[in-house]
Amino acid sequence: MRPSKNPLSRTLVFQDHRRHLTFILDAARRAADPRLAMLRALKDHPPRCWPKVVIAVGKAALAMDEGLSEAMGSCAMTRCIVVPAGSPTWGESGSLLFADHPLPSHASYRAARRIEFLLATRRSRHNCPGILFLLSGGASSLLSYPCDGLSIDDARAVTEALMHAGAPIVDLNTVRKHTDALKGGRLAACAAPLDIDAYILSDVIDDRLDTIGSGPVSPDPTTFADALAVLDRFRLRDAAPKVTAILESGARGEHPDTPKPGDPVFDHVRSRIIAGNLTALSAAQDAARELGFRMIDCRPGVCGEARAVGTELAKASLAAANSGPACILLGGETTVTVRSTTGRGGRCQELALACAAGLEGSPGIAVAAFATDGVDGNTDAAGAIVTGHTVTAAQRDHGLSWQEALAANNSHALLDATGSLIRTGPTGTNVCDVAAVLIY
């Protein structure tokens, strides 16, 4: 292997593991920078015409719109940008709406109504060449327009119940698509026959257009029966009775289903993925090699219970313990089954803590788990960096048990006490998670 010119690689020693892991994670985050991704996409695949209406929704909406503005200059456009409350802001305040994530709120409903009204007025005019739609992760919660007979409280209740049960995003969004007036291709139906050019930053592991943001401008292959099957799988028919009733009546054919592949409402829609988890994972791999680490495994599409993935990652790390300097990378999005509503943590922190427990006492191995959006669960952390010393130090210095922390979904407290947390604040992007193991 050619010697690396990166100054961090002059001596690959365990004492520098946090600097090395930070370098790798920063590379992953930069690769998925929404502004740069938009600039690349607009250069290589420009929209069919410069539209007069821009709708941007999601955690990366502001950065995507910044890239759009940089590419288009001072073109006069009507904008509607919906971002999570607390997002850093710039641009025209009148075009910016704040809504809530991960659970929808009345602000999410108001944002959805604003977009529906905008589409209705533009659809009736002859001087609107089209819609530019910028979509990124978080949009399912930020736009919430419950179907007739449902309220925001109903949408919030079923969303929270599915999240606490550890439902994968595909299952969660299958339910959302059948209980919302804009999801599952219905936004495209509202805009028809206007042209829609959609540029999408993917926050799902397989880049399924019908799952990202619950697929507002994409054909939906799922049905009311599929949504009911999700509730049955997690035993949640009683979580939101009105939602269940809507799904049951829909399955009986009493409501029109979401528009399916081949529906003419999509004849005027063109969608393009501009970046995703593979983008971040590829950049992390390049960064690890630049430092001088040999790549043992780089695995995308990782899902499942966070603590189980962490335990398996520890086993894989120990199996490769004598092969350093080496690196293992994982990309994807795990889930957490909530056992205690009082604990604080997130999927990356649970993965990291379970991995630390599996590595207990083992020297020369460091692990990071990182949420690329900078927000992991109900905390201010983006993830954590752990070693084989983490759980020992937690017990010895702070009297904290990793078993009790995992049982209570309270990984945050232990990782905070041991100085293990990664704190970046919201990053302005969202392409799932990256986990990295460095073996020295």
pLDDT digits (tens, 9 = 90+) for 328-370: 999 999 999 999 989 999 999 999 999 999 999 999 999 999 9
For residue 22, the domain's CATH number is 3.40.1480.10
Examine the pLDDT at 1 and tell me if it is beyond 60. no
In a domain, 78, yes or no: yes
In a domain, 122, yes or no: yes
Are 362 and 321 in contact, with CB atoms under 8 Å apart? yes
In a domain, 250, yes or no: no
Are 154 and 145 in contact, with CB atoms under 8 Å apart? no
In a domain, 291, yes or no: yes
Angle at 289 between CA 435 and CA 44, to 5 degrees: 80
Q: Helix, strand, or coil here: 371?
A: strand
Type of residue numbered 28: A
Average pLDDT of the chain is 94
Are 63 and 194 in a shared domain?
yes
Are 27 and 40 in a shared domain?
no
In a domain, 245, yes or no: no
pTM of this structure: 0.91
Are 383 and 396 in a shared domain?
yes
Q: What are the two backbone dihedrals, phi and then psi, of residue 435, each rounded to the nearest 5 degrees?
A: -120, 140
Are 356 and 266 in a shared domain?
no
Q: What's the pLDDT at 356?
A: 98
pLDDT band at 234, cuts 50/70/90?
very high
Return the structure tokens found at 431.
Answer: 């392409």
Q: What's the pLDDT at 178?
A: 98
Are 352 and 376 in contact, with CB atoms under 8 Å apart? no
Number of independent structural domains in the chain? 2
pLDDT band at 165, cuts 50/70/90?
very high
What CA dihedral angle connects 246, 250, 254 and 257, to 10 degrees?
Answer: 120
For residue 116, the domain's CATH number is 3.40.50.10180
- Share of residues in the chain with pLDDT > 90 (%): 86
Cβ neighbours for 371, distance < 8 A, ≥ 6 positions apart: 346, 347, 348, 382, 383, 433
Beta strands in 236-361 (DSSP E): 269-275, 294-302, 326-332
- With tokens 């995308």, the residue in question is 300
pLDDT digits (tens, 9 = 90+) for 379-418: 999 999 999 999 999 999 999 999 999 999 999 999 999 9
Are 290 and 267 in a shared domain?
no
pLDDT band at 95, cuts 50/70/90?
confident
Of 94 and 291, more confident: 291
Buried b / exposed e along 175-207 (16+ C-beta atoms within 10 A): bbbbbbbbbbbbbbbbbbebbbbbbbbbbbbeb
Q: What's the pLDDT at 9?
A: 60
Are 59 and 136 in contact, with CB atoms under 8 Å apart? yes
Are 319 and 437 in contact, with CB atoms under 8 Å apart? no
Of 395 and 6, more confident: 395
- Where does a domain end: 214, 241, 275? 275
Mean pLDDT, residues 314-321 taken together: 97
- Residue 352 structural domain: 13-31+278-439
Measured CA to CA, the distance from residue 11 to residue 295 in angstroms comes to 18
In a domain, 49, yes or no: yes
Q: What's the pLDDT at 93?
A: 53
What are the angstrom distances between the C-alpha of 380 and each of 33, 119, 435?
Answer: 21, 36, 18
Are 73 and 203 in a shared domain?
yes
Number of Cβ within a 10 Å radius of residue 261: 11
Are 210 and 309 in a shared domain?
no
Q: Is 136 left (phi over 0), alpha (psi -120 to 50) or beta?
A: beta
Q: What's the pLDDT at 3?
A: 52
Q: How far is CA 266 from the centre of its chain?
A: 25
Are 212 and 343 in a shared domain?
no
In a domain, 155, yes or no: no
Are 264 and 399 in a shared domain?
no
- Where does a domain end: 275, 305, 339? 275
In a domain, 376, yes or no: yes
pLDDT band at 74, cuts 50/70/90?
low
Are 49 and 75 in contact, with CB atoms under 8 Å apart? no
Q: What's the pLDDT at 210?
A: 97
Q: Is 73 left (phi over 0), alpha (psi -120 to 50) or beta?
A: left
Measured CA to CA, the distance from residue 84 to residue 58 in angstroms comes to 7
Are 218 and 302 in a shared domain?
no
Measured CA to CA, the distance from residue 252 to residue 189 in angstroms comes to 23
pLDDT digits (tens, 9 = 90+) for 111-150: 999 999 999 888 766 667 789 999 999 999 999 999 999 9
Are 23 and 78 in a shared domain?
no
Are 79 and 19 in a shared domain?
no
- In whole angstroms, how large is the CA radius of gyration of the chain? 22
Number of Cβ within a 10 Å radius of residue 395: 14
Q: What's the pLDDT at 127?
A: 61
